[in-house]
Amino acid sequence: MKTKMTSTIVLLVLLTIASTQLVLGQTATVGVKPGDTFNYTYRINWDSTDPQATVPTQYVELNNTQFIRITVITVTGSLINADFTRHFNNGTEQTQNGNIDVNTQILEIPYSTLIIRADANPGEKIYPAGGHAILNDTATRTYSIGQVDAVRYVSPDTTGGNSEKTEIYYDRTNGVAVEYNFISQVTTGSYVTTTRETVLINSWVIPEFPVAAVLIILLLAIPMLLIAYKKKPLLSNRFSVFLK
């Protein structure tokens, strides 16, 4: 009995160590920086086999969305502060500011899950120190921005006659989602209501250090270098001090 108990304890310890090593092996590296902007097309479709059913008011409003945008404001460690903007067809916008922590799963703005850590791999948790969601596999996807080496998360959930499926493809380099699909089916009696939401990358702006700024810095630096050079004693004079 004692031997069996000891074996069980050893097994539990080994499993704990293996689990800890798996988490520690996952780093939460932020792949975006301040000024990065990501634009997405947005579409939500709703239909029902019930002839008496009507489209929910909130879906009608959401379907007037022309695009959505996430703009990175600041990055501190694994914490990203960002603006989420919904731009409507009539030209008006709604903007919310909040934080996204790619390590602990702090999600304070709509569609916070569109940004995760960089360089994530299949079989790893999306958020190393938070949640239980695991990335599934990789795929090469083609979008308006070009080909993307993506890692995919998919989460089917079926309860009774109802089902939900979330599927997200992330660019592995920076952890930014390039495609988000959500499908929900609700069965009421003999009727089925289906909601489909699609968010697709349209463009992204990742500012580089401006060339003009580099030229200005160089132009300002050259006179200072020349002045410093003129004031600097010749090597022969400096060596002569030690030779005397």
**Domain range list for the chain:** 28-205
Phi (first) and psi of residue 219, to 5 degrees: -65, -35
Contacts for 79 with CB less than 8 Å, ≥ 6 apart: 99, 100, 101, 106
pLDDT digits (tens, 9 = 90+) for 151-180: 999 998 887 779 999 999 999 999 999 999
Between CA 168 and CA 184 the distance in angstroms is: 15
CATH 2.40.360 fits 28-205, yes or no: yes
Quick: pLDDT tens for 113-152.
999 999 999 999 999 999 999 999 999 999 999 999 999 9
pLDDT number for residue 127: 97
C-alpha dist (Å) from residue 35 to 84, 205, 207, 208 = 13, 8, 7, 10
**Both structure tokens of 144:** 């308006």
Average pLDDT over the chain, rounded to whole? 82
Name the pLDDT band for 216 (thresholds 50, 70, 90): very low
Instruction: Return the closest-CA partner of residue 152 out of 165, 164, 134.
Output: 134
Percent of the chain exceeding pLDDT 90 equals: 70
Per-residue pLDDT of 11-22, as tens digits, reads 333 333 333 334
174-196 pLDDT, tens per residue? 999 999 999 999 999 999 999 99
Give the Cβ contact number of residue 224 at 10 Å.
Answer: 9
The pair of three-digit structure tokens given for residue 136, joined into one six-digit string: 């599934």
Residue of higher predicted confidence among 20 and 83: 83
Residues 199-216 have a mean pLDDT of 70
Q: Whole-model pTM?
A: 0.76
pLDDT of 235 higher than 70: no
